[in-house]
Amino acid sequence: MMNDIRMVDDLESLFRAHHGRLVRALTVACGNEQIAADAVQVAFVKAHLKWRSIMSYDDPVGWIRRVAINNMRDEHRRESRKQRVVDRLGAEPEVQVQAPQLDEVAAMLAGLPRQQRLSLALFYVDGLSVAETAATLGISEGAVKFHLHQGRSTLRGQLGEGVHHE
Amino acid sequence: MNDFNDSVLRDQLQRLGGHGPDEAGAYLALQQRVGVAKRRRAAAVVGGLGVTLMIGFAAAAYQPPTSSRLVPANGGGNDAVVTLPTTASNADTTSSSTAISTPTINGNTGNTGNTDSSAPQTGTDSTSPSPIDVPATTAHTVPHGDATTSAPATTTAPTVPATTSTEPSSTAPSSTVPSTSSSVPTNFTEDASASSSGGAATVHLQGGVLSLVSYSATADHACVVERTLSDRVRITCRPTLLNIFGNTSHLDFSIGLDGHLVAVSTET
């Protein structure tokens, strides 16, 4: 995978190769496709503006992935602050957005800790290895294995046999 | 790695991730967003440069306000002619009085004095107005262009016996009057000028008391009267903001041991 990344020398090829997969992974991690798509696009815009320096990195896609995850976390914090202000003022939200109906797996994913969700999304959806997941999240490989084990056990326990036989 | 290779869970999660966005549309949106970001960055750079230039011009155009101007001690008119009589104690001295121009007040140029051959030879200077005195405690700033004093930049010959009439040089670094005479008359008068790259000044010695006659600054310099005592005058000329490579010069006038004027010009 690293060799493939180094062969990609222009941003457009890199975008077409990784954008969709990254959006899907972050959608699984945050549960909102719009937020995930926006975070990934902002990351690619930043990469475009400083592409001359980023293209010399060992793993430019890793840089974009980390920036996208940070954007997603910033958006999550912003929404949390906004919600706290609304709760403190006791006001009704201006527009009550109808939350999408989550299926069983999505509802269980939403109940997992954020680090476990990110580990599962990057490992199973984006197709990263344990080492790449650890590098992206800035944690050790042992921590990634722990999060994968915990998340997988939780999902299996709550879904029961349905997951295995589907 | 193999412990986590769960194809069923992988399929479930990938299905949850959806089909993903339209790549072509997403790339077009990316290009539009990059264009907006580039325009915003260019606007920020241009704005920053503009603000920097404005600050630079404002700093360059700033000039410290003038605090005061020279005023004749007796409040005489602008066209006052100062006639300095020669001392009468020495008969060998040629009877010539020296007329100097007075400094200009409020931008008017003083008239050049006339040589008055009929000046009194009594050694008194009752007919001549007193030179301009500047209070010792006040600093006077004369930026270039404000001080239009028309005093000559040369040194007038002292009206002492001819044996002591060596003129102090008006050029830097220093000029002194040799002390060949053992005694100096009480009403001894002498003028001295000194100049430097920052400006020039003229002082007048009469009765053992120094007084500043005029001073002026050269281009891109501002002169300040730092000290005016009865036996010592110091004028400092500093470069302005537009002349960052200029030197600061000091024009020092004092009374030597022999009673004559000593002018020293130093540059730092």
DSSP of B112-172, one letter per residue?
Answer: PPPP-TT---SS--TTSPPPP---TT--EEEETTT------SSPPPPSS-GGG-PPPPSSS
Max Cα separation, chain A?
55
Q: Between the CA of residue B102 and those of B7, B73, B124, B212, B214, what are the distances in Å? A: 105, 12, 20, 11, 8
A28 lies within 8 A of chain B by CB: yes
Q: Is A98 helix (H, G, I), strand (E, B) or coil?
A: coil
Closest CA to B255 of B244, B243, B264, B246: B264
Structure tokens at A164: 């295995």
Res. A14 pLDDT band, cuts 50 70 90: confident
Nearest to B232 by CA among B123, B150, B86, B134: B134
Residue of B36 and B9 predicted with greater confidence:
B36
Nearest chain A CA: its distance from B13 CA (Å): 7
> Roughly how many angstroms between the first and final C-alpha of chain A, as a whole number?
30
Rounded-to-integer distance, Cα A11 and Cα B99, Å: 86
Amino acid at A121: A
- B125-140 burial code (b ≥16 CB/10 A, e <16): beebbebbbbeeeeeb
Q: What is the pLDDT of residue B94?
A: 41
Residue ranges of the alpha helices (H) in chain B? 7-16, 23-61
What is the pLDDT at residue A142? Answer: 94
Please enumerate, as own/partner, the contacts of B200-204 that have beta carbons within 8 Å and a separation of 24 or more.
B200/B153, B200/B170, B200/B251, B201/B233, B201/B235, B201/B251, B201/B253, B202/B100, B202/B151, B202/B152, B202/B153, B203/B233, B203/B253, B203/B261, B203/B263, B204/B84, B204/B100, B204/B131
pTM: 0.48
- CA B252, distance to chain mean position in Å, is 14
Query: Which pLDDT score, from 0 to 100, does residue B5 have?
Result: 79
Q: What is the pLDDT of residues A115-156, one digit of tens each?
A: 899 999 999 998 899 999 999 999 999 999 999 999 888 887
Nearest-10 Cα torsion for A83, A89, A91, A93: -20
Residue B47 has a pLDDT of 95
Give me the count of residues in chain A: 166
Kindly list the residues from chain A whose CB atom is less than 8 angstroms away from the CB atom of residue B16.
Answer: 27-28, 103, 105-106, 109
pLDDT at B196 over 90: no
Residue A130 sits at the chain B interface (C-beta within 8 Å): yes
pLDDT of residue B220: 82
Flag whether residue A50 sits within 8 Å of chain B, measured between CB atoms.
no
Token pair belonging to B56: 């630079």
pLDDT in tens, B30-66: 888 889 999 999 999 999 999 999 999 988 887 766 5
Q: Model ipTM?
A: 0.74
- Establish how many alpha carbons lie within 13 A of residue A68's alpha carbon, considering only the half-sphere containing its beta carbon: 33
Q: Give the pLDDT confidence score for residue B126 in this predicted structure.
A: 41
Among candidate residues B146, B134, B161, B43, the one with its CA nearest the CA of residue B104: B146
What 3-state class would DSSP assign to B111?
coil
**Which carries the bigger pLDDT value, residue B186 or residue A150?**
A150
d(CA A155, CA A82): 31
CB atoms within 10 A of CB B265: 26
Q: How far is A21 from chain B (nearest CA, A)?
A: 7
Tens-digit pLDDT profile for residues B139-173 = 444 444 444 444 444 444 444 444 444 444 444 44
Q: Kindly tell me if the per-residue pLDDT of B175 is higher than 50.
A: no
Angle between helices A60-89 and A11-30 (to 10 degrees): 40
| Closest approach of A128 to chain B, Cα-based (Å) | 11
Mean pLDDT of chain B: 66
What does the pLDDT average to over A88-93?
73
pLDDT of residue B156: 47
Are B252 and B184 in contact by the 8 Å Cβ rule? The answer is no
Residue B251 C-alpha, separation from nearest chain A C-alpha, in angstroms = 58
Q: Residue B2 pLDDT > 80, yes or no? A: no
Give the whole-angstrom CA distance, residue B103 versus residue B79: 9
pLDDT for residue B93: 40
Nearest to A33 among B18, B23, B30 (CB): B18
Q: Does B30 touch chain A (CB under 8 A)?
A: yes
Which residues on chain A are in Cβ contact (under 8 Å) with B14?
A: 24, 124-125
Instruction: Place A74 in a pLDDT band, splitting at 50, 70 and 90.
Output: very high
The secondary structure of B148-161 as a DSSP string is -----SSPPPPSS-
Residue B46, min C-alpha distance to chain A (Å) = 18
pLDDT of residue B69: 55
Cβ–Cβ gap B9/A145 under 8 Å: no
Which pLDDT score is estimated for B73? Answer: 54
CB distance from B25 to chain A under 8 Å? no
Chain B residue with the nearest C-alpha to that of A25: B17
B33 near A CB under 8 A: yes
Residue B100: what are its φ and ψ, rounded to 5°? Answer: -120, 160
Going from the N-terminus, what domains does chain A have, and what CATH number goes with each? 2-160 (1.10.10.10)
B11 to chain A: which residues are within 8 Å by CB? 166
Kindly report, residue by residue over B88-144, the tens digit of the pLDDT.
Answer: 444 444 443 333 434 333 434 334 444 444 444 444 444 444 444 444 444 444 444
A44, B30: Cβ pair inside 8 Å?
A: yes
pLDDT confidence of residue B162: 40
Q: Which of B4, B8, B16 sits opposite A148 (nearest CB)?
A: B4
Contact: B12, A166; criterion CB under 8 Å: yes
| DSSP structure class, residue B176 | E
Which strands form B209-217's sheet, in the order they lie side by side?
B189-195, B199-206, B209-217
